């Protein structure tokens, strides 16, 4: 199913803009040894000081809405930004309470993180999130069912497809798959002194990165797929790189058959209109194999 018939009438493909807003908590999960190193942490604080506002200004300029994945603790520490995201008409999704590596958590601990993160966001916005992104690591067996039980209607954490899909064990949860080439971090994460994160390359060419993203969009558009961008305020929203994003989005907007929507809107459309996931889909194969392994 890779043609325009999978999308609302008149649209050939979907584009979803997602933002991971983690402040310093993201790098502290990835590299806890930088705790207390204010010069290093200032790279990530930049996203809070400048990046969020710059992203929101660009989205307002272009008239597009996005989905922000925010840990509860980041929302509590930066309520003014949460209010600005909400006031701009953007969707707010949960990323747990603390930015944690889920590989280190049991299923019960992961479930508690979902609940606590959603409670924090609801207390600040008056709206309970219905979307989730794992900050780092993987969900334990039963995690998707936990998302469903906590009222989550979409997830954007897995890969393995170019279109959304309903999880085989919890069809109420629609997955919007990610691709590394549609993220800003692989292009622009770079070495500090000491290297954080380790073994990352230097800054990529802005023009080459824009070209890559444009070529990927051309392919997703040609085949009628779901183009999910994963952005970070501290990475994409510097004065130069925000121009890369502006040019990319302006080019996408020149196509009148592209549906630029929030993750929640795409997930709802998919839940209402798409067929169940096939038996040979990677998610179905994974569910069968890991459950067999557990038995």
When pLDDT is cut at 50, 70 and 90, the band that residue 37 belongs to is: confident
Q: Please name the residue that has the structure tokens 């990352």.
A: 200
Q: What are 222-246's pLDDT values in tens digits?
A: 999 999 999 999 899 999 999 999 9
Kindly state the average pLDDT of the residues 202-214. 92
pLDDT at 97 over 70: yes
When pLDDT is cut at 50, 70 and 90, the band that residue 165 belongs to is: very high
Q: Exposure string (b/e) for 127-138, b if CB count within 10 Å is 16 or more?
A: eebbbbbbbbee
Kindly state the average pLDDT of the residues 153-172. 91
Structure tokens at 251: 């080019």
Neighbouring CB atoms inside 10 A of 189's CB total 19
Question: Using CA atoms, how far apart are residues 13 and 21, in angstroms rounded to an integer?
Answer: 26
Q: Please name the residue that has the structure tokens 């998707």.
A: 144
According to the model, what pLDDT value does residue 93 have?
A: 98
Closest CA to 133 of 187, 183, 58, 78: 183
Comparing 17-26, 62-71, 104-113, 270-279, the range with the smallest average pLDDT is 270-279
According to the model, what pLDDT value does residue 196 have?
A: 63
Query: What does residue 239 show for φ and ψ, rounded to 5 degrees?
Result: -55, -35
4: left (phi over 0), alpha (psi -120 to 50) or beta: alpha
Query: What sign does the CA torsion over 39, 45, 46, 49 have?
Result: negative
According to the model, what pLDDT value does residue 282 have?
A: 59
Q: Please name the residue that has the structure tokens 């622009």.
A: 188
Q: What are 174-184's pLDDT values in tens digits?
A: 999 999 999 99
Q: Where are the domains of the chain?
A: 4-294
pTM for the whole structure: 0.88
According to the model, what pLDDT value does residue 289 have?
A: 62
- Contact between 114 and 147 under an 8 Å Cβ cutoff? The reply is yes
Question: Using CA atoms, how far apart are residues 67 and 45, in angstroms rounded to an integer?
Answer: 21
According to the model, what pLDDT value does residue 258 have?
A: 98
> What dotted CATH number matches 4-294?
3.20.20.370
Q: Tell me how far CA of residue 41 lies from CA of 16, 230, 237, in angstroms.
A: 29, 21, 17
- Average pLDDT over all residues of the chain: 88
pLDDT above 90 coverage of the chain, percent: 67
Question: Using CA atoms, how far apart are residues 44 and 25, in angstroms rounded to an integer?
Answer: 9
Kindly state the average pLDDT of the residues 92-99. 94
Kindly state the average pLDDT of the residues 44-60. 88
When pLDDT is cut at 50, 70 and 90, the band that residue 1 belongs to is: very low
Query: What does residue 15 show for φ and ψ, rounded to 5 degrees?
Result: -125, 130
Question: Using CA atoms, how far apart are residues 167 and 182, in angstroms rounded to an integer?
Answer: 22
140 against 189, higher pLDDT: 140
Strand-pair category, 165-167 with 170-175:
antiparallel
275 against 168, higher pLDDT: 168
Kindly state the average pLDDT of the residues 64-75. 96
- Contact between 71 and 99 under an 8 Å Cβ cutoff? The reply is yes
- Alpha-helical (H) ranges within 127-236 are 143-149, 185-188, 206-223, 233-236
pLDDT at 152 over 60: yes
Q: What is the DSSP letter of 183?
A: B
Closest CA to 186 of 172, 198, 204: 204
């Amino acid at each position: 199913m890779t043609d325009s018939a999978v999308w609302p009438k008149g649209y050939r493909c979907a584009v979803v803009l997602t933002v991971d807003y983690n402040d310093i908590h993201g790098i502290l999960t990835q590299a806890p040894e930088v705790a207390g190193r204010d010069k290093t942490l200032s790279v990530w604080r930049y996203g809070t000081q400048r990046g969020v506002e710059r992203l929101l200004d660009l989205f307002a300029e272009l008239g597009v809405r996005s989905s922000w994945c925010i840990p509860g603790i980041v929302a509590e520490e930066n309520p003014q930004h949460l209010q600005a995201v909400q006031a701009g008409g953007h969707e707010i999704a949960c990323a747990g309470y603390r930015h944690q590596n889920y590989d280190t958590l049991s299923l019960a601990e992961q479930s508690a993180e979902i609940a606590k993160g959603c409670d924090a966001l609801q207390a600040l916005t008056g709206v309970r999130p219905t979307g989730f992104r794992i900050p780092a690591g993987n969900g334990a067996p039963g995690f998707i069912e936990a998302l469903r039980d906590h009222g989550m209607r979409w997830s954007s954490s897995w890969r393995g497809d170019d279109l959304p899909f309903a999880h085989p064990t919890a069809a109420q949860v629609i997955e919007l798959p990610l691709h590394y080439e549609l993220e800003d971090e692989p292009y622009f994460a770079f070495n500090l002194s000491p290297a954080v994160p380790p073994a990352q390359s230097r800054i990529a060419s802005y023009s080459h990165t824009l070209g890559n993203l444009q070529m990927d969009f051309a392919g997703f558009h040609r085949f009628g797929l779901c183009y999910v961008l994963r952005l970070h305020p501290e990475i994409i929203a510097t004065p130069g790189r925000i121009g890369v994003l502006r040019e990319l989005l302006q080019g996408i907007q020149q196509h009148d058959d592209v549906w630029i929507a929030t993750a929640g809107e795409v997930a709802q459309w998919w839940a209402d209109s798409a067929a169940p996931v096939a038996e040979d889909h990677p998610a179905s194969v994974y569910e069968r194999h890991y459950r067999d392994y557990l038995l």
